[in-house]
Structure 1
């Protein structure tokens, strides 16, 4: 029996009045719960369509390493004017006959010096684009799983022993736990645009961003309390954090704040004890500017 079957049997028992026919119906919905192994390829991120990347936190050393490994496109960062000359020997003719002469010819040119972008905001965007061109990146970790919410609500809305909200919350937690565990075992690159809760951990040494809600294009749901996804970054007032947390980050990453941000990093591990997926952040950013509507 699968973990889902065990859970649904337990849910049916808790509801009391859910009979075998209801359990059979719910079992038919299991395929809609299996979202843990799905990945989606994101469209190439473009500043012209989504606004400018402004980082709250950025690990510039890791970005530069990834830029080399994933062949980030280089731009001419500096242009130098060059000149070269050469000596040309010849013969001059005059009233007193021919005599040898030496002339100088000078050639002008331009020299282009190509470098990886040193600006961390531009480099973040370039690295994400380059990785996305060659491999899949997890973008679904903050998405609500499709579990047939309306059908389950209809089945249990009149049962006093379990509420619809409780059942839905538990079903979503089961689906996300499976998804997070899968991501943690693969150490995948992740890109998560979501709402985050900011808090302090480790006695104030680190700032923690915890996924605050799951969403679809039209619906949002508070993150279930029995499963979590989070990342820790150095506190902004420590010496090491000064090189990692930007001026914008020191304003936005305030304890107890909820911020909208995109996290780029990798899945470090899944903690079975706390049912938490822990991320290693590479960059935390938001996009500033107007969205351009493409014709």
Structure 2
């Protein structure tokens, strides 16, 4: 195959690296740097609430990822958490501003900043690439456990090269569910607490890792059977949703509608418990919709 034909096939690249390879490289390099800063951040500020934290390491990590990606794909758009004002309205406006983007990278440099600040395992780098609004690449890297989760649309999902598959649990009673304590205290947290209360007596157990991205990676890997949370952002979940879908699972909003980049209130499951979970959240008045 001649060089000019290669260029016809991939007109948006300026290098021979695939978007997936670039995402893996960015996540791995940034994750390793983040780990070196564990317990050594210099700035600590709050965003949406006193519980919504950001550090100089979040900002440095996002800049690193941006440079690593845009070096290869300078024409692509980039949506990173640290470049957006806090709050659901700002998040929705930012996403809407990229509605016409052909290729959009959606990045959370540290998902689980509170865990990072506390020196508590449970934070990761999350990188997704959307093509005309559909996620086609998802990479999540946990530097503490050195676990790299990768998904490509239509090509499956893997953790260090081994295919991931969702769990086989057939009902909520036999399921371990991931839940979140959202930092948005006025709207999201009260609804999440309603859902958590309803699920506590219907499931085998509940887990809150403190990272939406890791929750989704763990659902994809079959470590948990589902995840419910109200009040999420696109950068929290874009990469993880593809991991779940490519591992045989199902992702919707809390009403059961198909996932899209604008979804903020989410259910992600192995598929087998999805309808039962949705009904419990609906009956609890905890959909947020």
Whether TM-score is above 0.5 comes out as: no
Rg bigger for which structure? Answer: 1
| TM-score range normalised by the length of the shorter chain | under 0.3
TM-score with structure 2 setting the length: 0.23
Structure 1 or 2: more strand by fraction = 1
Structure of greater relative contact order (alpha carbons < 8 Å, 6+ residues apart): 1
TM-score with structure 1 setting the length: 0.22
